[in-house]
Structure 1
Amino acid sequence: MTPIQYKSLDVNGVNIAYREAGNTNNPTIVLLHGFPSSSHQYRKVLNQLSDEFHLIAPDYPGFGNSDFPSAEAYEYTFDNIANTINTLLELKGIQQYALMVQDYGAPVGFRIATAHPERVTAIISQNGNAYEEGLSNAWAKIKEFWHNRTKATEDALLPIFSLESLKWQYTHGTRNPELVNPDTWHLDYLRLSRPGAHAVNIDLFYDYQNNVKLYPKWQQYLRDNQPPLLIVWGKNDAYFPESGAAAYKKDVKNIDYNIYDTGHFALEEDGNAIIEKIRSFMHKL
């Protein structure tokens, strides 16, 4: 394995941190993280697949080790985050890549894929949703917030940022929560405790409704381009249930479909099995 390098690059005035491993001559996999995490969630993938693949895992603005510009200096929307990550890849000269998406990584990744379908060699979805069937009842408070943004509907979402809630996001649905590294939710809690972090993430929660509006466009992309698709899905995800994984079968013919008895961050508990699936899937491209 090659060592993970911890780098950063200025993207339109915002310093974007990213982890990179592997030989750049090998096939590239871009690893796009979810909420409330960072590239840290892909540490096992970076460690184990760098022998055969070039891996790059960026932190979005306001996440991980990237800059956290104010909402006045940076527009916290999924459109803008996707533009930032796409520009990072272009500045790096990365023109062909598979996308691995989880949670927020799906709306970021599908925006990149629909803008540049010729660049995307495959999609790996680990609870990365693109269908309304994949939104569970756990979205009820957020949907109410979309329909009526007030201080009351904003305040109703604030418990999501508590240490207990963040721990729950990592451990809910796992077979053995003792297999989940507590550094994960403690790191997220520290970052979400910075001044202004709640407001920025509330803005992103509000903007998430625009992802749902784009689902038909992303599904059309899948039908038109038929990217090889690997599904590695934790079926006990409270936010994105297995129905979101099954929905991909409507639009994509070439699916390697794998469901795991675990939660939202499936790599925490079933990382070794998922990583071997990624390896064999990439070999077939």
Structure 2
Amino acid sequence: MKKIIGIALGITLVMGACKNGKTIPENEKTTENKVTMNPIYYKKLDVNGVHIAYREAGNPENPAIVLLHGFPSSSHQYRKVLNALADNYYLIAPDYPGFGNSDFPSTDTYTYTFDNLAKTIDQFLELKGLSEYALMIQDYGAPVGFRIATAHPERITAIVNQNGNAYEEGLGEAWATTKELWKNRNAETEKAMLPVFSLEGLEWQYTHGVRNPEVVNPDTWHLDYLRLSRPNAHKVNLDLFYDYQNNVKLYPKWQQYLREHQPPMLIVWGKNDAFFPASGAEAYKKDVKDIDFNIYDTGHFALEEEGEAILKKMRSFLNQHL
């Protein structure tokens, strides 16, 4: 009996050392089923009485990247970046006040302008002790990020730009109703903006211009709809839509920053974006010399459909410049 058991054990060990008919090297035997994942931490930091939620991943000793989200999203839009790049970089993705999991203070206590959003995020980065970092910007991330960059040009090591506009030629046809709001804010022009907040309108923002809508996670627009359904959310976001005209007025200042400081820039742009078409990406070539230029056949949230290609480009670009 002992002899039979010994033979069976030997057969088991031999079979365990093989896979698909091939012998597994000794150094792989203990790790073949091991899965390495980069943990993401979900934290909050008090910034002048407003709790700013943020996602954090990677070793703080590594080069830092600050990920600034767009409308109507939150740090959730950068989940693929956080998962993929935390092995080599320190990643921080904050939610603006009124967005994501950050506090949604009343308009009686917080002014919802892009100046103030940028001020809050700048203070957040100060509290985090970040003195040098790359920026990743998308949509609203551009006006927030460029305000921070022009205030602290010495801190910006590089810019990853995914449909973050800084040129008038980059404002697409989808701005028509917003421009009417700028001309005359009243009940009629505000009402014309309301479809943006509907579930169908939010889904359109994520799926318009993509080749295959089935690759876009529907949790994205459902999360946004939940947050935009909170009391006073429409009013706050209409305030920001109205204030966006002040971003346009600052475009020349941001362009001057680019010309003078020449931050290395990676462009990863969805060309079918109705808000910020590819003409906005092309415009950066006028002012930035060190530019890695990439256009994708997708929409506003290019990471949803082209995440793999964009992340590959990001890793190559960041390894070169950080």
Of 143, 152, 157 in structure 2, the residue corresponding to residue 107 of structure 1 is 143
Aligned to 1:269: 305
Measured in 1, the distance between the counterparts of 2:248 and 2:228 equals 25
Q: CA deviation at 1:267?
A: 0.3
Output the CA distance in 2 between the equivalents of 1:234 and 1:223.
Answer: 24
Per-residue CA deviation, residues 43-76 of structure 1 (Å, 9 max, x unaligned), is 0000000000000000000000000001111000
Report deviation, 1:137: 1.7
Provide the residue aligned with 2:224 in structure 1.
188
Aligned counterpart, 2:315? 279
| Cα drift, residue 23 of structure 1 | 0.3
For residues 87-135 of structure 1, the C-alpha deviation after alignment (integer angstroms, 9 at most, x for no partner) is: 0110010110000000000000000000000000001110000000100
Following superposition, the deviation at residue 209 of structure 1 comes to: 0.2
Matched residue, 2:106 = 70
1:31 to 60, 67, 90: 67
Rounded to whole Å, the distance in 1 between the matches of 2:46 and 2:174 is 37
1:138: Cα distance to partner?
A: 1.3
1:55 matched to 2:83: no
Counterpart in the other structure of 1:227: 263
Higher relative CO (Cα under 8 Å, sequence separation at least 6) belongs to 1
> TM-score scaled by structure 2?
0.88
Instruction: Report how many aligned residue pairs link the two structures.
Output: 285
Secondary structure in 1 matching 2:72: coil
* 2:215 aligned residue: 179
Q: Secondary structure at the match of 2:55?
A: strand
| SS of the residue 1:238 aligns to | coil
SS at match of 1:110: helix
Paired residue type of 1:233: W
Looking at structure 2, the residues matched to 125 and 218 of structure 1 have their Cα atoms a distance apart, in angstroms, of 14
**Structure-1 residue corresponding to 2:197:** 161
Is 1:7 the counterpart of 2:43? The answer is yes
d(CA) in 2 for partners of 1:215 and 1:36?
Answer: 22
Q: What amino acid maps onto 1:273 in structure 2?
A: A
**Cα distance in 2 for residues equivalent to 1:183 and 1:137:** 27
The CA deviation at 1:268 is 0.3
Task: Give 2:162's aligned residue.
Answer: 126
Q: Distance in 2 between matches of 1:132 and 1:206?
A: 16
TM-score, with structure 1 as normaliser: 0.99
Query: Where does 1:199-238 land on structure 2 (aligned, <5 Å)?
Result: 199-238=235-274
One-letter code aligned to 1:228: P
SS at match of 1:284: helix
Partner of 1:95: 131
Q: Find the aligned partners of 2:110 and 2:38 in 1 and give their Cα distance.
A: 34
Cα shift readout 1:199-258 (whole Å, capped 9, x = no counterpart): 000000000000000000000000000000000000000100000000000000000000
Give the one of 253, 262, 285 matched to 2:289. 253
Q: CA offset at residue 33 of structure 1?
A: 0.2
C-alpha distance in 2, partners of 1:89/1:77?
Answer: 19
Gaps of 5+ in 1: none
Structure 1 Cα separation of the partners of residues 308 and 93 of structure 2: 18
Residue in 2 aligned with 1:149?
185
> What letter corresponds to residue 135 of structure 1 in structure 2?
L
Instruction: Give the letter for the 1:132 counterpart.
Output: E
Q: Offset of 1:2 from its aligned partner?
A: 2.6
- The structure having more radius of gyration, on CA atoms, is 2
Where structure 2 has 5 or more consecutive residues not aligned to the other structure, the ranges are 1-36
Partners in 2 of 1:241 and 1:283 — Cα distance? 28
- Tell me the CA shift for residue 186 of structure 1: 0.1
Aligned counterparts, 1:15-26, within 5 A: 15-26=51-62
4+ aligned runs moved over 2 Å, structure 1: none
User: Which shows bigger deviation, 134-143 or 248-257?
Assistant: 134-143
SS of structure 2 residue aligned to 1:9: strand
1:42 matches 2:78: yes
